[in-house]
Amino acid sequence: MLARLLAQARREPVQKTGQAVPGAAENGWYQGALRYLADRGVDLADEDGGFSPAEPVTRGEFVGLAVRLRAAMGVPGLDGQLLQSLRAVFWTGQTEGGGAGFDPHGTVTRAQSVAALNRLLGRRPDRRDLAEHARQLHTFSDVGPDHWAWYDILEAANGRAAGVER
């Protein structure tokens, strides 16, 4: 998803070139996206310099990734808008498990990361439009309309950004 979001912002295809990412299976389905991100300065390495796709992502790692992704998109890094978005997502409980404070060592769920990325990138799901066209969109069997992040997930999974057609 990160590679597609970056490619969309840069108005270019996800070019699957570059060096293999250490720790990632060379034939892994995600290798092309990882190479694309690495070629554009979005470092996905963990603190040991490797890539661990089976390990959960911490909230602190997610914040660092969000800053690097925004920089690759040409958006300034840790500014007031980013801090406000992070506060809204993690501190005030706009995501399940938001809690009363920010624990950088706590893990971020898939749904939380999608909701946070949408907010950080200014993507606002059009709930009515998404609900009307849900049968035509890419959906996930483990996330239905009753899930708190359903609209965010549909927004992110279907390339629906300002000025981008389905």
Write down the mean pLDDT value for the chain: 75
Q: What pLDDT shows up at residue 75? A: 67
Question: Comparing 8 with 139, which gets the higher pLDDT?
Answer: 139
Q: What pLDDT shows up at residue 119? A: 77
pLDDT, tens digit (0-9, with 9 covering 90-100), for 46-72: 667 777 777 888 887 887 787 777 777
Helix axes 2-10, 31-39, angle to 10 degrees: 50
DSSP lists the bridge partners of residue 143 as 140
20: in domain: yes
Q: How many domains does the chain have?
A: 1
42: in domain: yes
108: in domain: no
Range of the domain at 48: 1-55
Average pLDDT of the segment spanning 110-130: 83
pTM of this prediction exceeds 0.75: no
Task: Report the percentage of the chain scoring pLDDT > 70.
Answer: 73
Q: What pLDDT shows up at residue 94? A: 46
pLDDT, tens digit (0-9, with 9 covering 90-100), for 75-115: 665 556 656 666 555 544 444 444 555 667 788 888 888 88
51: in domain: yes
* 3-state SS, residue 74: coil
29: in domain: yes
